[in-house]
Structure 1
Amino acid sequence: MSEAANGLAQGLAWAALGLAAFPAVLGALNLRGLRRPRGTPPGPTLVSILVPARDEAANIAACVQAALASEGVAVEVLVMDDGSQDGTAAIVRDLMRQDRRLRLLPAPPLPPGWTGKVHACARLAEAARGTHLLFIDADVRLAPHAAAAMAAHAEDHEIALVTGVPRQEIGSLGEALTVPAINLMMLGYLPGGGRAGSRRASLAAACGQLVLVQAAAYAAVGGHGAEPGILHDGLALARRLRGGGFRTEVVDGAPLARCRMYRGFREGWDGFLKNAREGMATPLGLPVWTVLLAGAHLLPWLLLPFTPAALPALLLSLGLRAAITARMRELWWTVPLHPATVAVALAIQWTALLGGWLGRRPAWKGRAYGPPGPA
């Protein structure tokens, strides 16, 4: 290698080290501050567990049964059948005969300008009787103590919204290349990790798979109906609550619930693609995110054959991923795939951005949303 090339490699290695050190330090602080809800709520509390469901015959029975097995707090479980073409509604009706706490609601026709899940969540909240509303996806399996612990955390710490990322179950290589990006971004790149210590709406975070909100606070900010056309429903609700003066917090969701989001690479790609334009895939934001993520997690691997100076950055990158994997109870065999996972995440974001410029609209479960064009 020429002297000039060696100097360039050394400079890039130092740059990669700086870019890798930032999420490593932030991730360590966020992991240390991540709280685990425990206990039962004081006083009379009813948690309404609300499940929007569209073609969820494969998931809905296990989801509802886990919710009805909640301990430590009174619960009701409401399922909204959002135009399912499979046996979702019939399965819920059978379960209703066994437990009066379960109700099935048919979704009204989707109004113009609404996304399907947001509309279902808004209608579920209208029908709920609880002091707290716990929104979960149909592929989520609540732990028996989850509803009580989240409601107790909300009441004990005066927090309007409590959310967490469930333990992600990964059953294929394709899922390992997509799903772990959730916790990497939440814990490695969000200052404060979504903790309640910050009141800034821009630093709020939420995972739409598992969101508990006080019913009174939800109503005060207009609920899901305040932003009917969004896809990142949990994040939007958390930011709106903070903007209204309420506190929100991301907690350790791994002990509270488990979830297998997608089955295979195609589902994972399409699932993350639909939300990308409300996240990183913006004309101004994505180039910055590309430098941050590629520089920290891909560049060290590219430089290592040319200079050992890239090794510290590589070790920081893998160390962060290993620490997150351990805390969030993900599978260890996914850690060596980390650079490929980051590369796939960036590919999804760029596909979403370029697709917007080409007039493609985000779509999910037979519905297309939003206007064409870049976010």
Structure 2
Amino acid sequence: MSAVANGLGWAALGLAAFPALLGTLNLRRLRRPRGTPPGPSLVSILIPARDEAAHIETCVRAALASEDVAVEVLVMDDGSQDDTAAIVRGLMKRDRRLRLLQAPPLPPGWTGKVHACARLSEAARGTHLLFIDADVRLAPHAAAALAAHAEDHEIALVTGVPRQEIGSLGEALTVPAINLMMLGYLPGGGRAGSSRASLAAACGQLILVQAPAYAAVGGHAAGPSVLHDGLALARRLRAGGFRTEVVDGAPLARCRMYRSFREGWEGFLKNAREGMATPLGLPVWTVLLGGAHLLPWLLLPFTALALPALLLSLGLRAAITWRTREPWWTVPLHPATVAVALGIQWSALLGGWLGRRPAWKGRAYGPAGPAT
């Protein structure tokens, strides 16, 4: 038993050291946008909204409060059954920079958010298009800083993960996986130094793209059926010869994605089959994540090698939590968060085999069957 435990301990230590080293490099290189864009710029802040009455007013007010760059704010009401449109109409009476659009019926083969974003881009007049979700609250300097970063560094797409507001146990078991995966496991962390489309990354909550580059690759309309819209757009731009970059989004915006474990599970489940949940990829990810963040806890009574592996795992999570300004009380839940993330991915993969289709906000997407 001792030899087996020591062998597994060395494996766990190696698997924990890899993301700890990669995460350290990514955190050191993560840039923070600042400044104002040179020359005349107009940032079109584009907000797809479907049944967002609880969030839309604070989202729009924050967008209209943008400083140091001219903005227009466009909201696409995508078949809402609540007061989303009425709230926006009320705000339009106070600010002429705000426009409300009504989404046409969803065409076959399109996903809802991608369709709304494509139609928003057609109506936008800006030099830069800033796509945000309705539950995002922009900081006053965010639009200017993102546009300045794009112009100063000649980057077509600039994206970041907003500061994630976490108020319940269910959120703490799901939401922190975003920054763990992007900063701990993506070589380069989405920096513009790499031109490889496979290493592109984006957070759909906060994406600024230069309008000419967006048009050159066909925008959202070039991938009408995707659910992971931000990632698909970043990869498409890199494939077209443009640069994309993930920056520090915590100072730029805040967002409370979900309010419960069920919302978090369903929200991440819908995108899983376009990411990790593939027949070839998920077993590898299970070894990488489980071996680094779960196995050390199981080995703790049997080998001394488990302790340094565990410290590397928790140290990485603590460093990411500090930099991204997530709540500290979520750090001790880290192994459970990883276990839930793997549970979501396996549920998505097995659900595909059983004929379940991804669904969100009353819409089911894509064909049944396994991801490829």
How far apart are 1:355 and its partner, in Å?
0.2
Pair 1:371 & 2:356 matched: no
Superposition deviation, residue 308 in structure 1 = 2.1
The aligned counterpart of 1:210 is: 206
1:110 is aligned to 106
Q: How does 1:41-120 map to 2 (within 5 A)?
A: 41-120=37-116
The CA distance in 1 between the partners of 2:127 and 2:229, in whole Å, is 20
Shift of the alpha carbon at 1:290? 0.1
1:193 matches 2:193: no
Would you say 1:335 and 2:326 are equivalent positions? no
- Deviation readout 1:160-200 (Å, 9 max, x if unpaired): 00000000000100000000000000000000000000000
How far apart in 2 are the matches of 1:309 and 1:16?
A: 8
Q: Secondary structure at the match of 2:53?
A: coil
Task: Establish whether residue 13 from structure 1 lines up as the match of residue 9 from structure 2.
Answer: yes
Residue 247 of structure 1: which of 223, 235, 243 is its match? Answer: 243
* Equivalent of 1:234 in 230, 235, 248: 230
Q: What is the one-letter code of the residue matched to 1:55?
A: D
Q: How much has 1:327 moved relative to structure 2?
A: 0.1
Structure 2 residue matching 1:179: 3-state secondary structure:
coil
Q: Report SS of the residue matched to 1:63.
A: helix
Does the residue aligned with 1:255 lie in a helix, a strand or coil? coil
Please give the secondary structure, in 2, of the residue aligned with 1:308: coil
Gaps of 5+ in 1: none
Distance of 1:198 and 1:350 partners within structure 2:
30
Gaps of 5+ in 2: none
Give the stretch that moved more between structures: 308-317 or 120-129. 308-317
* 3-state SS, counterpart of residue 305 of structure 2: helix
Q: How does 1:301-312 map to 2 (within 5 A)?
A: 301-312=297-308
Residue in structure 1 matched with residue 18 of structure 2 by the alignment: 22
Q: Quote the offset at 1:238 in angstroms.
A: 0.3
Distance 2:64 2:83 in 1: 20
What CA distance in whole angstroms lies between the structure 2 residues aligned with 1:226 and 1:297?
38
Taking the aligned partners of 1:343 and 1:361, their CA distance within structure 2 comes to 23
The alpha-carbon deviation at position 306 of structure 1 amounts to: 1.5
Give the counterpart letter for 2:257 in structure 1: M
Aligned to 1:148, which of 138, 144, 151?
144
SS in 2 for 1:48: strand
Rounded Cα–Cα distance in structure 2 between residues aligned with 1:362 and 1:195: 30
CA distance in 1, matches of 2:18, 2:302: 24
2:264 is aligned to: 268
DSSP 3-state at the match of 2:320: helix
TM-score by length of 1: 0.99
- Listed one character per residue, the Cα deviations across residues 299-347 of structure 1 (whole Å, up to 9, x for unaligned) are 0000001222210000000000000000000000000000000000000
Matches of 2:68 and 2:113, distance apart in 1? 29
Structure-2 separation of matches of 1:266 and 1:199 = 37
Q: Using the alignment, how far apart are the partners of 1:58 and 1:306 within structure 2?
A: 50
Q: Which whole-Å CA distance do the structure 1 matches of 2:141 and 2:291 have between them?
A: 41
Aligned-partner residue type, residue 100 of structure 1: R
Query: Offset at 1:105?
Result: 0.1
Q: 1:357 corresponds to which residue?
A: 353
Q: State how far apart, in whole Å, the 2-side matches of 1:343 and 1:72 are.
A: 43
Deviations 1:255-300 (A, max 9, x none): 0000000001000000000000000000000000000000000000
Letter in 2 for 1:156: D
d(CA) in 2 for partners of 1:146, 1:129 = 19
Structure 2 length-normalised TM? 1.00
Partner Cα separation in structure 1 for residue 262 and residue 198 of structure 2: 31
Structure 1 stretches of 4+ with a deviation exceeding 3 A read none
- Please tell me whether residue 257 in structure 1 is matched to residue 253 in structure 2: yes
Structure 2 counterpart of 1:288, which letter?
V
Q: Choose the corresponding residue for 2:282, options 286, 306, 309.
A: 286
Counterpart residue identity of residue 179, structure 1: V
Q: Which amino acid aligns with 1:274?
A: K
C-alpha RMSD of the superposition: 0.3
% same residue: 89
Aligned ranges for residues 119-158 of structure 1 at < 5 Å?
Answer: 119-158=115-154
